Structure 1
Amino acid sequence: MTPRLDAIGVTTGDLTASLAFYRRLGLDIPADADSAPHVEVTLPGGQRLLWDTEDIVRSFDPGWPGSKGGERLGLAFRCTGPAEVDAVYADLTGAGYRGHLAPWDAVWGQRYAMVLDPDGCAVSLFADAS
């Protein structure tokens, strides 16, 4: 038997802020999820994205040291083209989210940008350059 990746988890210090950020990226997260300590959404293709508050993680792992900064997991959102990378980056940074790397044409053939979610996790935006 081979395990299969089923879900990606995000631990957040501010669930409402985190969900608002990911809604802005187009994820269909119910409005009533903001008051839940654990949230799950099924993504196209069947995988799930999960959110837990830091308090929930500490409830089952009392020794959890918390986030110490630096990247541990990266999420990447494919855009339809280079113009959408620029537009989504502008929308997010215009809404007050911190840009990490402004859009650029990467040497690997993509238009690429990075924005930080409310917990400081880098979220990549990308599209094929042509």
Structure 2
Amino acid sequence: MADPVQAVTPHLIVNDANAAIEFYKKALGASEVMRMPAQDGKRLMHSEISVNGARIFLMDDFPEHRGGHGMVDAVYPPDQIKGTSVTMHLEVENCDAAVQRAADAGAVVTMAPWDAFWGARYARIMDPFGHSWSFAHALPAKG
């Protein structure tokens, strides 16, 4: 029996998917599932990694394939739109350790770990490809 399909799978667009896979391995402990190179032999048409058991699709930017369908269907890597509107969230065993691992791999810490009012140790980073990630673990219950 095949593994169940994940209901929502993030699909990240970057400007060097091969390097992004290596970064996510170091920074997030990702495991590589597969790569599909493009005909140019440099870019990846599609790839998949697994982070904490969750599937994430990853591909290079292909500006030559944007539009052409009579609608706004263009996707861009974060560096081309000067930001991102999405933060990928990971529940981790130790928020501080996860942030340090990501920073050591080249991420920028945008919010240092702190004890949030909702009962979690929480932090955020920006990866070298412009994608935002947050990390959290539950704090012990007070009382």
| Range with bigger deviation, 64-73 or 99-108 | 64-73
Instruction: Please name the residue that 1:21 is paired with.
Output: 23
Q: Deviations over 1:6-43 (max 9, x none)?
A: 42200001212321222121221158678633102466
Matched, 1:72 2:85: yes
Instruction: Please name the residue that 1:51 is paired with.
Output: 58
| Cα RMSD for the two superposed structures | 2.8
Report the Cα distance in structure 1 between the residues aligned to 2:55 and 2:102, rounded to whole angstroms: 23
Identity of aligned residues (%): 25
Report the Cα distance in structure 2 between the residues aligned to 1:79 and 1:12, rounded to whole angstroms: 24
SS in 2 for 1:72: coil
TM-score by length of 2: 0.69
C-alpha displacement of 1:48: 3.2
Matched, 1:117 2:117: no
TM-score by length of 1: 0.75
C-alpha displacement of 1:62: 4.4
2:108 to 82, 86, 98: 98
In 2, are the aligned partners of 1:17 and 1:118 still within 8 Å (CA)?
no
SS in 2 for 1:127: strand
Number of residue pairs matched by the alignment:
121
C-alpha displacement of 1:94: 2.3
Instruction: Please name the residue that 1:128 is paired with.
Output: 138
C-alpha displacement of 1:69: 2.7
Matched, 1:60 2:65: yes
Greater Cα radius of gyration, structure 1 or 2: 2
Structure 2 runs not aligned, ≥5 long: 1-5, 69-73
C-alpha displacement of 1:119: 1.5
Report the Cα distance in structure 2 between the residues aligned to 1:20 and 1:65, rounded to whole angstroms: 23
In 2, are the aligned partners of 1:14 and 1:118 still within 8 Å (CA)?
no
More helix by share: 1
C-alpha displacement of 1:104: 0.7
